[in-house]
Structure 1
């Protein structure tokens, strides 16, 4: 049973109780233990993640904050062989359930002979004052809060925090290892634990924030409280005769209309949200797009008008409008397409043969080129088409980052031999796989078939995963 009253389940279901009951399960605060009264309940101050399955041929982190976590580990560890062994352990799935608490992560890791070792990695918590400043920074930008709720760690928040002297991401020496194997540096057990935690961080940056001392519910509650206070201040607060407890409401300022100005302020509209009548329900969208009007009239069309082609375009426009009205797509996410891109989009709907032929001719493609473009479109729309048909040369910095990512994607023993065959393209020497780097930093898998390169799947942030798709 741990310091919070929970039983920790290691691999195989065995409870590792003693190490928790001796008090090691508690996190460290600045200058000692942080006994903050505003910490959320036990469920919010400790999270236990089930053991992750084995993983092969892929990197451990795809997000920028996950990679920053691994950099802190790899820059701190003194023995590269220990790190390499830790990666093998993590890939093999011998790391048990991972416990995450303020200031500490813990797991039981088993050697190949079945010997179990408890590994801990300690991270310094932020003080209560530091958390207050961090909450202020997050509330300053609605985008920060939205990103966190979307399980992303906004880089600007991390940069602003660092400028204010608050380091969210660990640096060199910040990941302090402790293991029952009694190694003085990061051993394979604590290294494997850190590699697994990088996978958890990819999915949920709140894991990092819990390590720094705040659980998700406690942090969201603090953000809501601070946002409400800011809104009250913006609305006038006590300076307008209205105290936060509601007293003095009769002395509230006049509305915008009473002052002779157009409309009302956002603060007033928000304050009246509970007394305004509800908005009418939106109309029920039609079950299917409407039928296009018939263009078969007694009047002959103009010399540049093809009624059959026009009917096809009207039908496509009606289908797109129906998707927008039914919520299946958004006008904000509909990309602005060129004529060539829109021709591929239309061809992807498998129209009649004569329409496909006209789309190929109108976009300057052969039938075979259009078929290949449609194949690419199915994996990623305009972005996939740009990688197939476009050419871009990464600048020196982008090329350096790409080569670093390629080198880190595989262990030295598993790394394929890649040759840079073209700007932003790397081909497997002696194989039929190719990686293409998109301008957004994602990797696209290609496979050689009948002497030409064919898109083999959607893009991936990890080049090893993309190449595995190409070679599958």
Structure 2
């Protein structure tokens, strides 16, 4: 099987890149990274969208980037609460292309050494082009798309993703080879074999009387004849974070890939919770609570003013409006089950915490607040603290006089910290 075939379905996931604040610093420092940017800029007819895309990339608006054969995908945060799903597509190489490329590289050990050193010299790309293989994209080879309403090609979100990808290419040219359909380990294995065969042929040609006999070894059946088996190694520690879902193609008649990625994300979260706690995660059987948890945990579903189709379908499945679900998801992100209870279930706590809280707020020269159940509300009706049964204060905000309260900010055991965190946000 060719390396391109072994790479089918494979992918690599890169965490969000740090901000790139210097407006004079280039996104790419390698010549092949700049060629990637040139392919984008050579196609775009709107310099304004490119400029906004560069600004988004520099400010760190691009979330986790997933690279797979033929495509790059990431959520990009814009001016709205819900991020957009940007994607860049590029043609993969054919099996014949890979054979020609591997033959061209294997004949020159310096090319293999350069790839191992995460370098892509001009000579390697020239050798591939002489073999009829184009590694770097040209104008029009990058095909952007995005879930935002802007139909520009590219829009600012897809442009931001392209600029950030140039930084990945700088660090590792195998990212480009993966986009073209080649898995790194499969390519290196194939190059090692072809290079060894090339060296053997050269040795046979220069050694008189070479017989080509195999080296001595041990047959597998002899090595496995004993019943002794060494003990298994200790289990690996669980990863620090849940895994990312696989990239799925959009095919006629197939399920929506975004919906499947959402379900895979939830499955990964459940599996990671089980590995790290040893108990069944999310044991509640309440469909509403489970829908709120799902909405709160997936970056493509959350929002306050605009909602994705998946979000609206999830709300309808539990007989709620998207706005209700969005508000509940915000409460869940504040404190899980307790955060949702604070949103939905007022209660009458002991007087002590409220007396101490009001005194602390006055001492800190913060607005005087009135009491109603477990709520403290300022005079203008724009800020509110809700006291939870877990002893924490949950900040809420509303437009003055509208009584439309939304969770905002992080819960805090200190009421002053909860208010100041909300005022400063």
Q: TM-score range by the shorter chain?
A: 0.3 to 0.5
Q: TM-score, normalised by structure 1?
A: 0.42
